[in-house]
Amino acid sequence: MRLLLWLAGRQRRLLGIGIIFGILWMVAQAAVPAALGRGVQAVADDDLRAVAQWAGVVLALGVLQAFAGIHRHRYAVTSWIAAASRIQQLVARKASDLGGDLPRQVSTGEVVAVSANDVERIGNAMELTMRLAGAIVAFVCVATVLLIASPLLGAVVLVGVPLVALSIGPLVRPLENRESIQRERFGEATELAADTVMGLRVLRGIGGEELFLQRFHEASDAVRTAAVRTARVRSILDALQVLLPGAFVVAVTWLGARLALSGDIEPGQLVTFYGYTAFLVLPLRTLTEGAHKWTAAFVAARRVVRVLSLQRGDTGGEVALGAPDTWGLVDEQSGFRARRGALTALVSDDSERASRLLDRLGGYATPLDAEQRAAVRAQVLVQDKDPVLFAGRLANTFVVPTDGLVSVESALQTADATEIIDGLPEGLETELPERARSLSGGQRQRIALARSLVADPPTLLLDEPTSAVDAHTESRIAERLAAARAGRTTVVVTTSPLVLDRADEVQLLRGGMVVATGTHRDLVRGCDEYRRTVLRGVDD
């Protein structure tokens, strides 16, 4: 609820103006039955001048209603977009802040569900607020008029409308619980579908399509079952939105007709009362709709808060900050140190520990204030072991912040990726599909490495950049990388002897701590554990 109230406060101007138009729109509608009643009474009294006057009043109310309705709708849509966009920005900032820690703490399906579905439900609640305010004010106005004209009818409306609105209360909590379960099942199915699509090539290779298809069927059935259970409660709520206001209108109309027959009210008043009772269907349905949409928004906000509450899991590292000419990297937790301007290799039998170390060095798993984070981002670039290439023109991949010293052509040459570009039908103008699925794993690695080289950061951290390429390609990349990054700080996580042999210094990580340091050849000769990790049982 605090998140929803904060969101409303951030767009209070939009909501405030929209609520004003919502009140004008609804009150104009509420005033029409009174004007019609007075006009009918003027007909009954054979007062043509009064008939013309009240006809003009009805026309003016119609114009006001149209004007206010148009602007209320415009502000409602704007408020919906603003709320949804602000939530998406919060989630995106949290994802950026968590960095590589995000996929370790929350599933892809959860993030997709929040970004796609929950923001819509929160936006719906903000949009409804304007109509809801108008419905409440209009109800108070109508009840006051009825109470003055007929205390009995006014009392019935004042008591009956709140009872109708409160009668749906017992359905709110079950609906909230079932919608929560449905969101969870949807997130699980989305995650499974994303994993299946990404691993389809592997599944076909091992013949696992049917197994994963069966798993997705089960997940889909779980989503459908949860949706049906939610729909049962929602259908009852929707039915009550029609039944309860309708029954109330019938009751008030019947009571008004009895009063007219007994002579307690005039024919014009009967028309007014009937118009009011017919009008009351709108605010009543708005109230019940508000209960439903705010319940859905509360469930959605809970999921958003769950994502926004995530914290970095590993915050033990410390990055040594300094001017570019004295830049070096130090990780106090592991004892890792990278000399300025050197190519340092990191070897570990636990790739996850090595990846977390790079995250700390890159400031993604380290508590930094805004100034420190800006300094680290300007100096350090981390390339994940599974780098992402985005859909679109391949040339756009290399549009990155850069000092312009490294051209795209030279970066492609260093990454041994020139032949990839030459083999594409339109070269750099080729359109890549989502996640560059048309390229092999090795090709994606080389393109991503070229992108990092174009950025030419003072400090470049590479997590297994050649794990998916063949030995000949890896040898060429290792030789060219050392030359291209000469004088620049580079850290490479790898167990490839071809890359390690080109490093200025190699450090062995065991149990999260650096236990040996030296050149590749010295460590091969003098460290049994290093030799086992790198050569994998092959005699030197």
Cβ neighbours of residue 526 under 8 Å, at least 6 residues apart? 518
pLDDT at 206: 61
Pick the more confident residue, 288 or 491.
491
pLDDT at 435: 75
Task: Say what the alpha-carbon torsion angle 101, 102, 107, 113 is, to the nearest 10 degrees.
Answer: 170
Pick the more confident residue, 47 or 451.
451
Q: Please report, for residues 54, 69, 73, 140, the alpha-carbon distance to residue 63 in angstroms, rounded to integers and kept in the order given.
A: 14, 10, 15, 23
pLDDT at 15: 92
What average pLDDT does this structure show over 376-382? 87
What average pLDDT does this structure show over 293-306? 87
User: What pLDDT digit, counting tens, does each position of 513-532 carry?
Assistant: 999 999 999 999 999 999 98
Q: Is the pLDDT of residue 239 over 70?
A: yes
DSSP readout, 314-352?
A: ----------GGG--EEETTTTEEE-TT-EEEEEES-HH
pLDDT at 251: 81
The amino acid occupying position 250 is V
Task: Say what the alpha-carbon torsion angle 102, 107, 112, 114 is, to the nearest 10 degrees.
Answer: -80
Looking at mean pLDDT, say which of 210-219, 315-324, 361-370, 497-506 comes out highest: 497-506
| Other residues' Cβ atoms within 10 Å of the Cβ of residue 482 | 18
Pick the more confident residue, 526 or 322.
526
User: What pLDDT digit, counting tens, does each position of 102-130 carry?
Assistant: 777 777 667 777 877 888 889 989 989 99
If you average pLDDT over every residue of the chain, what do you get?
83
Cβ neighbours of residue 433 under 8 Å, at least 6 residues apart? 391
Question: What three-state secondary structure class fits 112?
Answer: helix
pLDDT band at 327 (very low <50, low <70, confident <90, very high): very low
Smallest CA-to-CA distance from 24 within 71, 76, 57, 80 is with 71
User: What pLDDT digit, counting tens, does each position of 76-92 carry?
Assistant: 999 999 999 999 999 88
Angstrom distance (rounded) from CA 111 to CA 117: 10
Number of H helices, E strands in the chain: 21, 10
Q: Is the pLDDT of residue 454 over 90?
A: yes
Q: Is the pLDDT of residue 199 over 80?
A: no
pLDDT at 147: 80
Cβ atoms 72, 15 nearer than 8 A: no
Pick the more confident residue, 539 or 387.
387
Give the least confident one: 190-199, 270-279, 382-391: 190-199
Smallest CA-to-CA distance from 33 within 257, 269, 254, 276 is with 276
pLDDT at 257: 80
Angstrom distance (rounded) from CA 31 to CA 135: 13
Q: Evaluate if pTM is beyond 0.85.
A: no
Sign of the torsion formed by the C-alpha atoms of 468, 473, 474 and 478: negative
Pick the more confident residue, 437 or 208.
437
pLDDT band at 58 (very low <50, low <70, confident <90, very high): very high
Token representation of residue 329 = 């990297």
What average pLDDT does this structure show over 255-271? 76
Residue 349 Cα to chain centre, angstroms: 36
Angstrom distance (rounded) from CA 82 to CA 234: 27
pLDDT band at 320 (very low <50, low <70, confident <90, very high): very low
Q: What percent of the chain has pLDDT over 90?
A: 37
pLDDT band at 537 (very low <50, low <70, confident <90, very high): very low
What average pLDDT does this structure show over 149-169? 74
pLDDT band at 169 (very low <50, low <70, confident <90, very high): low
Residue identified by tokens 């994993």 is 195
pLDDT band at 536 (very low <50, low <70, confident <90, very high): low
Give the least confident one: 74-83, 86-95, 476-485: 86-95
pLDDT band at 372 (very low <50, low <70, confident <90, very high): confident
Angstrom distance (rounded) from CA 301 to CA 2: 9
Angstrom distance (rounded) from CA 455 to CA 379: 11
What average pLDDT does this structure show over 290-305? 85
309-313 CB contacts, 8 Å cutoff, 24+ apart? 310/94, 310/98, 310/101, 310/102, 310/105, 310/106, 312/97, 312/98, 312/101, 312/364, 312/365, 312/366, 312/367, 313/101, 313/104, 313/105, 313/365
Pick the more confident residue, 400 or 313.
400
pLDDT at 205: 56
Give the least confident one: 86-90, 296-300, 316-320: 316-320
Sign of the torsion formed by the C-alpha atoms of 426, 432, 433 and 439: positive
Looking at mean pLDDT, say which of 162-171, 195-204, 373-382, 480-489 comes out highest: 480-489
pLDDT at 201: 55
What average pLDDT does this structure show over 238-252? 78
